[in-house]
Each structure stands twice: as C-alpha cells, then as structure tokens.
Structure 1
Amino acid sequence: MSIVLTLDLHASRIARVNPVAKLAAALVISLTLVLTIDWVSAGVALVLEAMLLPFAGVGARQFWMRTAPVWIASIAAAVATALYGADSGAVLWGLGPITVTEGSLFLAGAIALRVLAIGIPGVILFATSDPTELADGLAQLVHLPARFVLGALAALRLVGLFIDDWRALARARRARGIGDGGGPVGGMRRLGSQSFALLVLSLRRGSKLATAMEAKGFGGDRPRTWARASHFGRAEVAMVAIGVVIAVIAAVAAVGTGSWHFVVS
C-alpha cells in the first residue's frame, strides 16, 4: 500500500511540473539520439525511460492507447529500412531488387529503437501536461510571440471539437442514406466528400474564431498580461536534469562500446 501511495505521490508531482521543463527534457533526449544511428544509445535510453514510467502517472491502458502510433511507426520504419536500407554483409532474403541483408536488418533495429526512445517520452510527458499551462510557459519563460502561442493553443483546443464535427457529419450523412454501402470505392468517396465538408466547416469556424480573438485584443502589439504566472523551480530543474542524465548515459554507453555512428560524418 505504501508503494502505491509513493508512486501516486511521484506521479502527481510529475504532473505538476511545468510543461516547458518536460519539453526541454524530451528535446535533450531527442537531439542526442538523432545524432547517431546505433542500438546501444537508443536501447540504453529506452531502458532508462522504461524505469521512469511507473512515476509518470499514466495507467497501462492509457499508456498503450497513447503510444500506439509510436509503436506502429517504429515497426513501419523498421520494415522499410530492412527492405530498402543500405545493403551490407550477407544477404538473408531477397526478392528481385528488394533484399534484406545483415547490415540493413541491423540498421532497421536501430531505427526502431530510436523511434521508440524519442517518441514514447514525448507522448507520456505531454499526456500529463495541460495545453494552457504549456502556452503560458512558452510565452512567459521561453518568450515566444504571444500571438503565435495563443493561436496554437486555440487550434489545439479545437481538435476535440473537430472530432465531434466529424462524427456529427457521419451521422447526418447516414441519416440521409448516403453513409453506407458502395464497397471500398464508395467508402473512399465518402471519406473524400466528408473530409471536404469538415474542411469547409473548419475554415468557417477558424475565421469566426480569429475575428473574435482580434475583437478581444489578442492581436494587439502591446505587452499583454497573463492570468496565471508560469514558474520554473526545483522540480522543473530536476526534470531537465533527468533528461540530460539519460542523454549523457546513452551517449557515453554508445561511445564506450564503439557503436556510436555520427549521422553527418
């Protein structure tokens, strides 16, 4: 019971960390792993990240649902690299111009691990972040232009509304008798027409939102005030330090084993 309470306490603390610190930690790890293509650095980073997952405050079901695109992307990248990557070593399988060699298979594994090591921490960290808090931090701490930050925040807030619009359009079309049947060709036609309808609806809503924001003074040139102050304290420094430690350990392990392969060399 004490272990569960301890994990919940740590999870709540991580959830309260400023999203800017989470973004900085994820960027440090990502930039380090982008510099090399090898198994060791990505594998070490992935293991260290996995050790921190119990403290992220994300349940198992939520973890798999949110990271599913990352796993799919890693598998797709590995398959594409294995089939079309640079050939080296013995040929393991071939079909015409498509061959799988020891070198391409090794490279495919490294690419898959890199995608997981870069994508999973970003998804998990932002799963516990509030978009408004992130916007406040980017404007107040990073000093990004307020118009850009607020515009991006408004667009992000509309994603859920667009999903509801898509479902409403599908129900309306089905009620008119044009939402079913036709086979795969009909399905592609419905997808295209419904996407166009959503695009038109989004443009109309976007223009109205832009007018409303301009009328409320969001587009002014004067320095604006903020309803919530964004702070960068010890917890944020610790979060960034964790990202730096993971990146350093991964890089040192790769260099020490001789597997570091600088991508621009």
Structure 2
Amino acid sequence: MGGLVGSVRATPLTRANPLALLAGALVIAVALLATVDVVSAATALLLEIPLLPLAGLGPRALAVRMLPVLLASVPAGLVTTVIGRDAGAVLLDLGPLSVTEGSLDLGVATTLRILAVGVPGVLLLVSADPTDLGDALAQRLRLPPRFVLGGLAGLRLAGLLVLEWRTLSLARRARGLGDVRGPLAGTRVAAGQAFALLVLALRRATRLAVAMEARGFGAPGAPRTWARRSTFAARDVGVVAGCALVAAAATGAAVWAGTWSLVVG
C-alpha cells in the first residue's frame, strides 16, 4: 500500500510488530479522547511530530498520507469555534453566531486533538504491513482466522481503488470526455466514476471470495497453520511504552496547567 505514494524504508517502526503499533495508537487515542483541552493535545502533537520520519516515507509521500487528517481537523475546529459553547469575552459577532474566548479555545483544542490522534493512526497505516497485522491479530489476539483473512483482503484491495480511479479518469480522457466545465458537471462525473468504482470493487470482492472459498479458507477441520510466526519482542514493548509515555506526558501537562477536563456524555 505504501507503494502508491512512495517506497517505505526500514525503520524501527516498520520493523515493530503491528500489534504494538496498534496498541500504542490506542493508548494515545484514549488519553486524548478523555479530555478536550489545548495543553494535552499540543503536548502530544509536539512529541509525535519528531516520530513522523520513522514512518519510512519521504516528505512528499508523508504529506499525502497526512492530508486527510489535516482536511478533517481544520474544518472541525472552525465549526466548533463558531457553534461551540460561549464563554468569556466576545471576539467576533456574526449575528446568530459568535466567537468567544471559550469557543475559540474549544475549536483550537478540537483541531489539535484530531491531529494528535491522527498522527499515530497514519504511522500505523504507513509502518504496518497488512499481512503482518493479520498474522498478529490471528496469532497473538486469537481472532477468528476467517475474519482476519477477510479484513486482510479488504486492506489489500483498498489500495487498488486509487489505481482504479486513475484508470477510469484516463479512460474518460481517451474517449474525449476529460474536459469538465462547472461544478455541477464535475459532480456528475465524479458520481458516475464512483458508481463504476463501486461496481468494480463488488465484482473483485466476489471473485476473491469465491477463490478463497475454493482454496479452503472457510473450511472447518484441522487447525490453521501460518507461513510466518508473529513474535512480540522487547522492541515492541518499547514501542508501546513510548506511546504510553506520550499519553502520560500529555495528561500530566494538562493536569499541571489546570486545563484537563474529563469528557462525559
């Protein structure tokens, strides 16, 4: 999957067990989702940014992977700022909507929290090989092999959707339909390509399901064997411990600053 946006070089994160990366990302997410404050999110983000080079991607490829997180965090922060709980002095009066010190603080905290939760997720998706993740989930967590293999197939096929979208776009250009004028026409074209992509995905999923069933992936009987053993070494414990330290530092900084506030309801 990393080949779509750039080659991944070997780093301590790419060598770690994917289960350790998943556990570390969950530890940070739980700590940040428990509170909405600027200090905890900013602290976690500052500690996470130096880890981005460990994803094993170049700056351009890493920026592509981070783009969805940025696109999600900024609008969420702006909306929260405008419609958030009013508190403190009014900074901007927009009639029925207003921006106050409290709503601005909440909006900034929301943006930073999404970024701080998203960075470990990006590191997980970039660093973890889907096959290794499937092996770890089945062997270490004892999840049902059929469920794991189905999820692994879905992850592998998801990477092909980008290539299929590009192929459909090139096919339209080859037929002389690439010139789209106006937002309405662009929306119709995008909707048509999305429908075609859905049909292709369903057909491929059907063929894959039949092939897996024919090869005995759903057959009961003898215990399943695995080509590679999933090991959890001291390096993996260190990854989880490092993520726990990030979560503890973020929570501790917020408690020390008096901004930590438990999210309830």
TM-score, structure 1 as length reference? 0.90
Amino acid at match of 1:187: G
Deviations 1:73-127 (A, max 9, x none): 2211111111111111111112221111110000011111111111012202331
Query: Where does the alignment leave 5 or more consecutive residues of structure 2 unmatched?
Result: 1-8
- Give the conservation status (yes or no) of the 8 Å contact 1:15–1:129: yes
Instruction: Tell me the residue number matched to 2:262.
Output: 262
- Give the conservation status (yes or no) of the 8 Å contact 2:55–2:126: no
The residue matched to 1:232 in structure 2 has which SS? coil
1:167, 1:55 → 2: CA distance? 29
1:192, 1:140 → 2: CA distance? 41
The residue matched to 2:11 in structure 1 has which SS? helix
Matched, 1:246 2:246: yes
2:53, 2:165 → 1: CA distance? 35
Identity across the alignment (%): 54
Instruction: Tell me the residue number matched to 1:24.
Output: 23
The residue matched to 2:92 in structure 1 has which SS? strand
Instruction: Tell me the residue number matched to 2:196.
Output: 197
Per the TM alignment, residue 175 of structure 1 is displaced from its structure 2 partner at its CA by 3.0
Per the TM alignment, residue 139 of structure 1 is displaced from its structure 2 partner at its CA by 0.9
Per the TM alignment, residue 258 of structure 1 is displaced from its structure 2 partner at its CA by 1.5
Instruction: Tell me the residue number matched to 1:159.
Output: 158
Amino acid at match of 1:254: A
Judging changes above 3 Å, is the alpha-carbon distance between structure 1 residues 63 and 177 closer, same or farther for their aligned structure 2 residues? closer
Instruction: Tell me the residue number matched to 1:4.
Output: none
Matched, 1:71 2:70: yes
Amino acid at match of 1:251: T
Per the TM alignment, residue 160 of structure 1 is displaced from its structure 2 partner at its CA by 3.0
Judging changes above 3 Å, is the alpha-carbon distance between structure 1 residues 170 and 126 closer, same or farther for their aligned structure 2 residues? closer
Q: Equivalences for 1:102-121 in 2 at 5 Å?
A: 102-121=101-120
Judging changes above 3 Å, is the alpha-carbon distance between structure 1 residues 178 and 12 closer, same or farther for their aligned structure 2 residues? closer
Judging changes above 3 Å, is the alpha-carbon distance between structure 1 residues 14 and 172 closer, same or farther for their aligned structure 2 residues? closer
Judging changes above 3 Å, is the alpha-carbon distance between structure 1 residues 181 and 64 closer, same or farther for their aligned structure 2 residues? closer
Q: Equivalences for 1:1-265 in 2 at 5 Å?
A: 12-222=11-221, 223-264=223-264
- Give the conservation status (yes or no) of the 8 Å contact 1:30–1:118: yes
2:41, 2:51 → 1: CA distance? 16
- Give the conservation status (yes or no) of the 8 Å contact 1:38–1:259: yes
Deviations 1:171-191 (A, max 9, x none): 333333444345322222222
Deviations 1:213-263 (A, max 9, x none): 111111123431111100001011111111111111211221222211001
Q: RMSD over aligned Cα, in angstroms?
A: 1.9
Q: Segments of 4+ in structure 1 off by > 6 A?
A: none
1:176, 1:247 → 2: CA distance? 53
TM-score, structure 2 as length reference? 0.90
